[in-house]
Structure 1
Amino acid sequence: MWTGRELRALTVAAALSAVTIATLSAAEESVLYVSPAGRDMWSGTLPDPAAGGAAGPFATLQRAREAVRQRKQAGVQTPTRVVLREGTYYLPETLVLGPEDSGTEQCPTTYEAYEGEQVVLSGGRPVTGWQPADGEIRYADLPAARGGKWVFRQLFVGDRREVRARYPNLDPVDAVTKGYLYARGQVGYGVLLSGLANMGDFLEHRVEVVEPDRYDLWVGYATTQDSTNANWQVTLDGKNVPIADMLASGHFRKIRWAKLATVELAAGRHVLRWERPEAPDRIVHFDAFVFSTNLDPKPTPEAFPEPVEGESQAVVQAESLESKLAGRGTHVGGFQDFECGKETRYRVYCKPGDLKESWARAPGAEVHLFAAWGWFNEIARVTSVDQANGLVRLQGNECQYGIREGNRFFLEGVREELDQPGEWYLDSKAGRVYYWPRDERLSESSVVAPALTTIVHLTADPVGEARVQHVHFRGLTFAHTDYTLDHASVRTAQDATVLLENAWNCSIENCTFVNVGGSAIRLHLDCQHNLIAGNEISEAGGNGVLLTAARVDRGVPFDTRPGAEKYAPIRNTITRNHLHHCGRIHKYVAGVHLDSRPASLAKAPGNVVSENHIHDMPRNGLFAFEHQGGNVFEGNHLHDLMLESDDGGGIHICQDNMECAPTQIRSNRIHDVFGNRVGKDATVTREIGIGVYLDGATSRCRVADNVIYRTSSGCVFFHGGKENTAENNVLVGDVKRQFWLSNYTNKMAGNRFRRNVVVCTEPESKAMHLRDFAQETFAECDYNLFWFGGMPVGVEPFGLLAEWQKKGFDANSLVADPLFADAARDDYSLRPESPALRLGSGPPKQPIARPTP
């Protein structure tokens, strides 16, 4: 309720505002001020309170927004600046700006920090009034949280995101492998063992036979390509077993059963071995090997029938560690198990001693789990714990992928696990937060709990032509937002601190985003001609910048509003940003993540992502998903990536569409792409970490003038696409191969690899690995310079370079030292006498983007 004095003051302020509006109609710009020392009843036209307190700045952004609207309604046609004075603004609700808040090209609306002052827009609320609890633990009462009315999953103390009470405890030295439990594997029909892909791979199992008899060997498998018996060498007790051809099952998760051989088996133990001889690569995933006397068993994709009376059967589950004797697999780096038809997304098995049944009684108990291949993490609620059998049951929309042996996870949100400094716990029923301080005095520290997931939301209905336009943000700091659960896709968590939805010609420049729960910035649906420039984004829970359409991931419905399905962000520019140490909560992230578009926009113009410095990410540097064409990735410095997962890269594009508009990938510096895979024994191996990864049949890309070094499975990888060109690149020091091509689609054609400098001194590394190569795969492969420190240059599967040249490729290429300027300091520019310069236009002669300290 307003007091009489306040109402009189507000009436005077309104009258002054009317006079000000009339005066400003002819002025060059109008300026409104907001300050922690302000009052919403004042005029907002002064940067400081006037003497006597009759006028001064506003106190809130919401009041400033209303004043801007009033000026527009009064016919004021000037640029408008809302200038915020120094301080932290704890927003009680998201600042929503609609089409009615738009500016114009000549008269934009800008929200900005006062020159030289630090302005923080916080999505949180201060937590004060700390009292002693048990031992070193302190508590603070939060009446607003009582009864679950305010639930938060993060707590910020100073500039730190503190640790929600968890088990096992976070290891600050090794947060990738330590501080996790590891799921036990499951054995049975429908669990596929992936792994036999390349020459030399093998799998060896023990077979226990009870009854001597003549048995048919049935194999359950999944593969997208026919595999002839020439692709395999199968032995039983060391003796060769001729097998029939294995026809394609139609999908790598679709199981097909086939009778491949008939053998005589004595009672006792036997050894079955499957091995790849020197033959073209064919990726085959195995479900089980069944020796059966049933002459017509009729297996289904779900299972092989159990024997009836009078029948004998010996079953070997391919994924079983009990019967497995040895093996080497190379499907995405090594053997993995994954579910195919069995429902195990909601059950985690582990060692019985790892669990506590009391966790199920904790209302906030949640599990963070790297499921399936370990590429992304899911967050799910705990519903029950069976301590005796080592089983945790989960619930939530993020239970989207099968849980395999070796998947790592931790549990958080349990009071009894608050056992070390830096941890906290929210009792949402009582409205009380507990915290074990590190070495700070809470009375002197800033403690903030997030209350919002989004601080600013620019939004317009996708139906119709109204858009939010010409609204800009300058020099502001955004902090203290939370994240949510139950996302439509764990690959694309949608939380964002600043959300632009159907916005045109807007910008976010020179802002700072720190300690936010989701992505820092998200552009959604019909966003065009927006500029994201000069910002620093760190300690984000999700991506740095995320672009989304109505369907995310591979067609997962997300925004079901009528009219939304035809839009995606295009023609936006994301440039000169520093994006680092993101993915603190969700792990399938990138500095800039361009999620899937509608197929109807595959040939539409793309976005420009240029001159960004992106580093220290759990996954990709830049990522573009389905139907993403027409993009330009230029002049970016990308490094220290793929730190917590594998099968990604510095620039990772997975279009799943061979007809997208051409993409340009040029003049980027990409290095130290690790591809870290965490194994079931908590060890880390470097697997698939690519420099430029054209995945999922991505086509019509030009990869040019890039410097790429210290990757783990290919500086450049063409995976199934057509009409891709890699030219004038410097490719150095991948531990396995410098260039990788995989014709898994059998449709690769018209690709070019020319005028590249390809260098490595790793003894096992190859210049090129050309899987399932066909003559039409390349339109050109020539004028390259290879140097392996005097060692032979290998090209898989053809052998040495000379054998490859007999195919008609690389006839004009050279083997010679490229004469880098200073390779020891990562300066891969070429000296004037470099032999690479004799091969035509030559690769870049100067460093593209020297590493930033």
Structure 2
Amino acid sequence: MMKLLLRWTATALAIAGSGGAAMEAAAGRVFVSPDGNDNWSGTLAQANATATDGPFRSIVRAQHALRTLHRQHPREAVLREGTYFLTEPLHLTAEDSGTAASPVVFRSYPGEIPIISGGRRVTGWQDRGGGLWAAPAGDVDLAREGFRQLRVNSTMRRLARHPNFEPEKPRTGGWLFARSSDPRKTGWETAVANIHTPADWLEWDVTVPEDGRFSLWFYYGQHMKPFGRDDMDGQTAVQVDGGDDVPLTNLPNTGDWSRFAWRNCATLSLTAGKHVLRWTNRKGGGINFNAFALCTDPQWTPKTTELPSSAEGQRLIVVQAETFDREKCKEMKISSAGPKGRKDRLPFGDGDVPTHWDPEGGQVTVFPAWGWVGGVVQIGGIDRENREIILTGQNAQQDIRLGNRYYIENIRAALDEPGEFFLDRGAREVLYRPDGEDMATVTVVAPVLDRLVYIQGDQETDTWAEHIAFQGVHFRDSRYAIAVKSLYTPDDAAVWLDRARNCRVEECTFSHLGGYAIRMLNQTRACQVLACHIHDMGQGGVLSTGETENQPTDCVVAGCHIHDLGRVYKHVAGVYITTGSGHRISNCTITDVPRYAISFKSFSANAYSHNNIAEYNEMLRTNLETNDTGAIETLGRDRKPSGNIVRYNLILDVVGMKHTPDGKLLSPHYTWGIYLDDYSSGTHVYGNVVARTVRGGYHNHLGFDNIVENNVFVDGTLYQAEWNGRSDMRRNVFRRNIVVFSNPEAVYIRSGGWDPEVLQECDRNIVWHTAEDLATSERKMTPAGTWAQWRKLGFGKQSLLADPKFLAPEADDYRLAADSPALGLGFMPIPFDRIGVKGYTR
């Protein structure tokens, strides 16, 4: 493959310098200009003085001309400045192929930016008054899907939506939340779980109507008996307004974590007014907490969720546990204690969907189920009697659960905010509320094509589309599918590489697109995406898809700046190898993404991703809208050694977001820096720097034979590294790493299902807590307990508890001072100057 890369580079440089700055006519070269004419020769860069010859007007005409030129020489179509509006995708086949010595290149004229657009201009705007403008929809195919995006100048505008977008809170504001159609049952269907860690606490703001002595009843489930505890008496406590602990008693084993029972566990004297009630896990132990009640009636005794009334004149206050106002819990989950939701029904709260709305053509953007995916689902109607939005179409794929966040789009009555638009299919016109634009000079484009360039070989004839390149071109304006095969893998793209070989996309810009920039599929191999700028995308950056027998292989994505992804669908990545092997992703800067920066997936033996490399990448502000995720994530359900390598990457701020059943957003929440999920094995992780995560810099879930060495992990909020799962985990290595953390409650290493065989080696690490002496600490810091107990198991005997001496960690400068103790343990300095786009070289 390296020989191919070198040959490509030499050939491309020869082409680039062949014509000088003026790009004069040359053998094998044709020119294209929006001001050209397809009846001209295409051999001139601009029209001649008599306007009888000059460049072609369309790229398709240039394509046909290149086919007729001699294939023993490089051929290129040089695109002049301007926008090329396509009426159909540019389809390049084996007939358009070049050779290694004589590639076919579509490139920009020096100093100019040609734009390939899959949209249609919307013109003829008229002022309708009240800040509303209208224009004819033109020849857009309204009978099919119409369009659901609109670019105004260089900004993507929003479909009319409710609630309105909140620019000061772009990710946490402007949401509705799935509500129970029967509010009386809302809380009984959910419980707060995984609050077993000492010092976990929850707080509620409670209003007491009058002074009184209140019995405190808990509705809970616990099954600590297998862990040697029959009850939870004295393990937890409550405090009122920061006062003394009131220990909770009478909390016996209920027989199962989801089997709930009422118990009177304390008595509180409360005055009338507002109070803060805090529950704290003081000594550890599990409990699933559904609700609590405060009652002044000494005879009041609840048995089920059908609560009895209190005696006349007595006071009863019932609070659902998940409605806490504040919390500090390491591993809290909001679990379902009742029936699952439905895929085709979204329950809404009183007043959330105005009664006068016509839902036809509407859609919701929703994060269903666990909040791992998000995207658009079509509205089929509104059941007002049961207060449910009826969801329809292929995208209704996951259960809608209480608290799932959503907003409603494409409703005419919601067109009330500057920057919003609506396509009135009946009137065949576009309605828009300008956000400061001059509608007399504005450029408005509606994306209508789902792809712009399709480079396609033919498997039946065993031919390839090969040695075709695009260089210096700007791609924009494509639509997204409103029905995708899976919300986990939306796969629209501007450029398709389908059975393509040795093709290249270089120094191109992709923006304002409904899908990915580039999709590779069907045995595509040895293709390159180099030095591209990909931003403001409806989905992700670069996507590799297929099954083992036809997956793409040996491709390179390097030197790309990829940011602001997932405008439409959320389970996406900067570079997403859903399946593919032998790929190299290097020197990319990937920022501001809803989920992964980079992901390698192996779903089964028939769909795996092996021998991929992610190296020298910079990843900032990832996982902004989903949870249970990492900046770099792999999946290993084929349960085979992957051979994947993750090295010399810089990962900062892995955030995460999840809902609670009562409609709160938890963020940061449930993320890792490098996440080897579901049996990911045989992976080498080294030379990476990971800072500011939630559950840790590194996570191994059920994997074996993973080597993690020479990395820097800084400030995991809960843990620094995790190994979780069952007996499958074996022979993992964690050595010569630097681990630094400051949270007084954070843990060095956590392992669920711990067995010493999980780690074959854990040694020669530098471990440093900035505010605590781990050598004398009695806190549980490792799977074995304290640091001393960890060493007694044979781990960390050559590790040091010492300051690694970063040069300037407050500025994320994690280079080491010359006298760093890590160097004495064999830690090799990390080449920071080579990381990210700034370190990219051909």
TM-score range, shorter chain: 0.7 to 0.9
CA distance 1:199–1:445, shift in 2 (3 Å) = same
2:139 counterpart SS class: helix
Partner letter of residue 588 of structure 2?
N
Partner letter of residue 572 of structure 1?
C
Partner letter of residue 613 of structure 1?
T
CA distance 1:566–1:339, shift in 2 (3 Å) = farther
CA-to-aligned-CA distance 1:405-446 (integer Å, 9 cap, x gap): 111100111111111211111012221001111111112111
Q: Distance in 1 between matches of 2:34 and 2:831?
A: 53
Check whether the contact 2:561–2:837 (CA below 8 A) recurs between aligned residues.
no
Partner letter of residue 155 of structure 2?
R
The residue number in structure 2 matching 1:716 is: 698
Q: Distance in 1 between matches of 2:319 and 2:638?
A: 41
Cα offset for 1:28? Answer: 8.6
CA distance 1:848–1:781, shift in 2 (3 Å) = farther
Report whether the alignment pairs 1:536 with 2:533: yes
CA-to-aligned-CA distance 1:574-602 (integer Å, 9 cap, x gap): 000000111111111111111146xxxxx
1:733 counterpart SS class: strand
CA-to-aligned-CA distance 1:782-840 (integer Å, 9 cap, x gap): 00111112503352443321111111100011111111112222111111111111112
Q: Distance in 2 between matches of 1:590 and 1:459?
A: 24
The residue number in structure 1 matching 2:685 is: 703
The residue number in structure 2 matching 1:9 is: none
Q: Distance in 2 between matches of 1:695 and 1:411?
A: 33
CA distance 1:326–1:798, shift in 2 (3 Å) = farther
Check whether the contact 2:340–2:401 (CA below 8 A) recurs between aligned residues.
no
Q: Distance in 2 between matches of 1:123 and 1:83?
A: 19
Cα offset for 1:343? Answer: 5.6
Query: Which of 59, 68, 71 lines up with 1:70 in the alignment?
Result: 68
Report which stretch shifted further, 140-149 or 490-499: 140-149
CA-to-aligned-CA distance 1:269-316 (integer Å, 9 cap, x gap): 76799999868x9xx99999xxxxxxxxxxxxxxxxxxxxxxxx9656
The residue number in structure 1 matching 2:555 is: 572
After superposition, residues 250-289 of structure 1 pair within 5 angstroms as none
Check whether the contact 1:146–1:430 (CA below 8 A) recurs between aligned residues.
no
The residue number in structure 1 matching 2:170 is: 175
Cα offset for 1:143? Answer: 3.4
Question: For structure 1, which runs of at least 5 residues remain unmatched after alignment?
Answer: 1-26, 205-218, 247-256, 289-312, 551-564, 598-604
Report whether the alignment pairs 1:620 with 2:606: no
Q: Distance in 2 between matches of 1:276 and 1:243?
A: 20
CA-to-aligned-CA distance 1:579-631 (integer Å, 9 cap, x gap): 0111111111111111146xxxxxxx421000000111111111122232211
RMSD of aligned C-alpha atoms?
Answer: 3.6
Check whether the contact 1:727–1:753 (CA below 8 A) recurs between aligned residues.
yes
CA distance 1:483–1:107, shift in 2 (3 Å) = same
Q: Distance in 1 between matches of 2:345 and 2:256?
A: 37
CA distance 1:55–1:231, shift in 2 (3 Å) = farther
Check whether the contact 2:589–2:837 (CA below 8 A) recurs between aligned residues.
no
Q: Distance in 1 between matches of 2:762 and 2:572?
A: 34
Q: Distance in 1 between matches of 2:469 and 2:171?
A: 38
Report whether the alignment pairs 1:588 with 2:571: yes
Query: Which of 586, 590, 593 lines up with 1:610 in the alignment?
Result: 586
Query: Which of 633, 658, 668 lines up with 1:677 in the alignment?
Result: 658
The residue number in structure 2 matching 1:823 is: 809
Q: Distance in 1 between matches of 2:509 and 2:706?
A: 37
Partner letter of residue 798 of structure 2?
N
Q: Distance in 2 between matches of 1:352 and 1:667?
A: 52
Q: Distance in 2 between matches of 1:269 and 1:795?
A: 34
Question: For structure 2, which runs of at least 5 residues remain unmatched after alignment?
Answer: 1-24, 204-219, 234-247, 267-278, 292-301, 307-316, 603-607, 775-779
1:229 counterpart SS class: helix
The residue number in structure 2 matching 1:806 is: 792
CA distance 1:456–1:748, shift in 2 (3 Å) = same
Cα offset for 1:387? Answer: 3.7
CA distance 1:196–1:762, shift in 2 (3 Å) = closer
What is the total number of aligned residue pairs between the two structures? 740
Cα offset for 1:349? Answer: 1.2
2:399 counterpart SS class: coil
CA distance 1:96–1:42, shift in 2 (3 Å) = same
After superposition, residues 77-476 of structure 1 pair within 5 angstroms as 77-145=72-140, 148=143, 151-185=146-180, 195-196=193-194, 199=197, 229-230=226-227, 233-234=230-231, 238-239=249-250, 241=252, 324=320, 333-337=331-335, 342=340, 344-359=342-357, 361-387=358-384, 389-476=386-473
Q: Distance in 2 between matches of 1:852 and 1:233?
A: 59
Partner letter of residue 405 of structure 2?
R
Q: Distance in 1 between matches of 2:676 and 2:142?
A: 50
CA distance 1:339–1:379, shift in 2 (3 Å) = farther
Partner letter of residue 646 of structure 1?
N
The residue number in structure 1 matching 2:491 is: 494
The residue number in structure 2 matching 1:729 is: 711
2:417 counterpart SS class: coil
Q: Distance in 2 between matches of 1:154 and 1:850?
A: 32
Report the TM-score, using the length of structure 2 for normalisation: 0.81
Check whether the contact 2:472–2:508 (CA below 8 A) recurs between aligned residues.
yes
Query: Which of 502, 505, 514 lines up with 1:508 in the alignment?
Result: 505
2:824 counterpart SS class: helix
The residue number in structure 1 matching 2:49 is: 51
Cα offset for 1:195? Answer: 3.3
Check whether the contact 1:352–1:387 (CA below 8 A) recurs between aligned residues.
no
The residue number in structure 1 matching 2:215 is: none
CA distance 1:831–1:189, shift in 2 (3 Å) = closer
After superposition, residues 618-767 of structure 1 pair within 5 angstroms as 618-626=594-602, 627-679=608-660, 680-742=662-724, 744-767=725-748
Check whether the contact 1:176–1:644 (CA below 8 A) recurs between aligned residues.
yes
Check whether the contact 1:104–1:470 (CA below 8 A) recurs between aligned residues.
yes
1:480 counterpart SS class: strand
Query: Which of 788, 791, 801 lines up with 2:769 in the alignment?
Result: 788
The residue number in structure 2 matching 1:8 is: none
2:728 counterpart SS class: coil
Check whether the contact 2:33–2:80 (CA below 8 A) recurs between aligned residues.
yes
The residue number in structure 2 matching 1:834 is: 820
Q: Distance in 1 between matches of 2:229 and 2:528?
A: 55
Q: Distance in 2 between matches of 1:581 and 1:503?
A: 28
1:532 counterpart SS class: strand
CA-to-aligned-CA distance 1:18-53 (integer Å, 9 cap, x gap): xxxxxxxxx995001111111111121221123333
Partner letter of residue 526 of structure 2?
H
Check whether the contact 2:179–2:186 (CA below 8 A) recurs between aligned residues.
no
CA distance 1:578–1:721, shift in 2 (3 Å) = same
CA distance 1:194–1:762, shift in 2 (3 Å) = closer
Q: Distance in 1 between matches of 2:228 and 2:575?
A: 41
Partner letter of residue 812 of structure 1?
Q
Q: Distance in 2 between matches of 1:240 and 1:736?
A: 28
Check whether the contact 2:617–2:648 (CA below 8 A) recurs between aligned residues.
yes
Fraction of identical pairs, as percent: 32
The residue number in structure 2 matching 1:212 is: none
Report which stretch shifted further, 340-349 or 409-418: 340-349
